[in-house]
Amino acid sequence: MSRIALIAGEGRLAPAIAAALDRPLVYALDNLKPQIEARPFRLERLVPFLDELAEQGVTRAVFAGAIRRPKIEPELFDPRTLTIVPRILMGMQSGDDAALRAVLDVFEEAGIAICSVDQILPDLVPGEGVLAGEPGPRDWKDAARAAEIVAGLGALDIGQGAVVAQGLCLAVEALPGTQAMLEFAKAHAGLKPDPRGAGGVLYKAPKPGQDRRIDLPTIGPDTVSQAAEAGLAGIAWEAGGVILLDRAEALRRAEAAGLFLWARG
């Protein structure tokens, strides 16, 4: 019988996806600490790992959660995985998105189809609309400016988020992630020209041309709390392109803090 493998990353997404699946086989790179029990595997032995999945009857896989680059140990490569190393290394040199696409290609060549998160749980990726609060005209302008910045960041494979207040960019997302970006924005909130003006907007979106089966930006209740602590007016994101975890709790926190949540079309 066909089975699905869940390749778990860090964060809350993997447990949410696992709960929606029927007896998934859960695996994780051995440098990660997922919030779910998972069997470890190493990138240096990717081909034997794919053989194991085939033996288990796996024909589909879904990647869920944040994945950090593992430290490669050349002496651990088996001969067959060694033959695909140039492809993966070439991808790594081009950026995280290219590296992930190279790995996805290897999975599919082994007969394992890659499912996107919204194929498993469509409600995790909201369509266009305001979910909480109400963005005003100044927020629309800040969100539009942030969207331009995120598109530029994504084209360079740097990050998937930015904070804009009163038309000025306070912070952009890079390797340290969303929480670090929001902490930076909070620390530099005094740079806003008008202390009584627009509080600012966190905006997130996939990278231009990104393979949306993997590594979609994610927002959750903790993001809402961190945005509130940074003094922002709300969070906006590309409709249909961002995962919203634990929607009920995220909405509750947004309403309690007076923040808007907006899936922007």
Amino acid code (one letter) for 11: G
Averaged over 67-87, what is the pLDDT? 87
Least confident of 38-47, 87-96, 171-180, 190-199: 87-96
Q: Is the pLDDT of residue 92 over 70?
A: no
Q: For 122-145, b where at least 16 C-beta lie within 10 A, e where not — what string? A: eebbbeeeebbbebeebbebbbeb
Q: Is the pLDDT of residue 94 over 70?
A: no
The rounded mean pLDDT for the chain is 92
- CA gap 163, 180 in Å, rounded: 12
- Residue 126 DSSP symbol: -
Mapped onto helix, strand or coil, the DSSP state of residue 151 is helix
Percent pLDDT > 70 in the chain is: 97
Q: Can you give the pLDDT at residue 1?
A: 59
pLDDT bucket at 156, cuts 50 / 70 / 90:
confident
The full set of domains in the chain, from first to last, is 3-120 (3.40.50.20), 125-264 (3.40.140.80)
pLDDT of 204-247, one tens digit each? Answer: 999 888 888 888 999 999 999 999 999 999 999 999 999 999 99
pLDDT bucket at 96, cuts 50 / 70 / 90:
low
Q: For the chain, give me the number of helices (H) and strands (E)?
A: 10, 13
Torsion angles phi and psi, residue 143, rounded to 5:
-65, -40
Tokens read off for 48: 């034997």
Q: Which of 135, 141, 184 is nearest to 161 (CA)?
A: 184
Residue carrying the six token digits 């994610």: 218
Q: Which of 118, 151, 129, 123 is nearest to 264 (CA)?
A: 129
List C-alpha distances in Å: 53 to 6, 21, 150, 215, 255. 11, 17, 36, 22, 44
pLDDT of 40-66, one tens digit each? Answer: 999 899 999 999 999 999 999 999 998
Q: What pTM value is reported for the model?
A: 0.88
